[in-house]
Amino acid sequence: MKTFLPVIIAFAVFTAIVLCSSLVQPYQIADMGEGNLHSFMACFYYFGPLFFVVALLTQWLIVVPLFNGFDTVTAKLLGITDLLTACLFAAATFAYAIWDSIDGLDSYISLFSKLTMIQLTYWAMNLSVMFLLATRLKKAEENTIQKEV
């Protein structure tokens, strides 16, 4: 449940955003690689299923074991801090990879900001669903124990 539901919810939101924006400005394969948000969304439009599989594997192999391993509030806060650092690093790296230096530093900062916000939104949705699931499962477990006694 912790593997599938957070990824499905987050991808459903992003897919809805991309599909709604495709009604306004349709995506073409040639749109990818332009170094702007439209090209990034075109990439998601065409490679969404691949991204979904990668997100499921990441969730299953990395996120859920780490989430289950963080028992204390301090450990969870440190994990979230590490996640924020990884998001910033990944956003900086991807923004640099698709940035056209001719457009200037403002373009890079804009790309970096957009990619950071996309990642932070994804992880906020993902972790929120995981926390809600963990709370629900814990309450259900406590109710089961109380009924047995």
Mean pLDDT of 82-101: 89
Provide the 8-state DSSP code for 2.
Answer: T
Residue with tokens 């957070």: 6
- Residue 74 reports pLDDT greater than 90: no
Domain hosting residue 126, numbered range? 5-148
Enumerate residues 6+ apart whose C-beta is below 8 A from 119: 87, 90, 91
Position 35 confidence tier, pLDDT thresholds 50, 70, 90: low
Structure tokens of 37? 């948000």
Quickly list H helices, 1-104: 5-24, 37-58, 64-69, 73-98
pLDDT at 62: 85
- Is the confidence at residue 139, as pLDDT, over 70? yes
Greatest alpha-carbon pair distance for the chain in Å reads 70
pLDDT of residue 91: 92
What's the pLDDT band for 8 if we cut at 50, 70, 90? very high
Domain count, the chain: 1
Q: How far is CA 122 from CA 15, 49, 62, 126, 141, in A?
A: 12, 16, 16, 6, 28
In the predicted model, what is the mean pLDDT of residues 109-125?
A: 90
Q: How far apart are CA 108 and CA 97, in angstroms?
A: 10
